[in-house]
Amino acid sequence: MTQRDPRLLDPGFLAFLRQQRCCVCRKHPPVQAAHIRIGLFAGAMKPHDKHATPLCQWCHLDSPMAQHKMNEAEFWKRHGLDPFAIAARFYAEYGGKGGAPKKRRTTIKPRLPKEKRAKIQSRGFGPQHRKFGQ
């Protein structure tokens, strides 16, 4: 996925994952759908939904050695698991079709005419409100 490719969403798959056992500690559902971010160097990028695995709250976020509290590659290596294989297996079991592109906002809300915009009162930081150095 490059920066220009739209993120593919599959909310049905994420709901399916939340009903599975944690793939690390085997805790019973409900669990969280944890996206695999290995290889995504842009911090704000989130992968396609088909690249997610089921993790309990402890393994995903809360443990001192949780997926989001340590290097993610180290997290999976420590548990001897291949997250991409796990995600692919669950996605095949779900029967997903790849998801739909995230909809981008294409319209911009028009601004109100100047006379209809609300006036914002000054906070009194202008030179006429200074008391020091007069």
Query: Above 50 in pLDDT, residue 2?
Result: no
- What CATH class is the domain 8-96? alpha beta
Strand partners, 100: 9
Task: Please tell me whether the overall predicted TM-score, pTM, comes out greater than 0.85 for this model.
Answer: no
Query: Above 50 in pLDDT, residue 106?
Result: yes
**Per-residue model confidence (pLDDT) at position 121:** 67
Distance CA 134, CA 116 (A): 38
Element (H, E) at 9: strand 8-9
Residue with the bigger pLDDT between 4 and 106: it is 106
**Per-residue model confidence (pLDDT) at position 115:** 77
Query: Above 70 in pLDDT, residue 117?
Result: yes
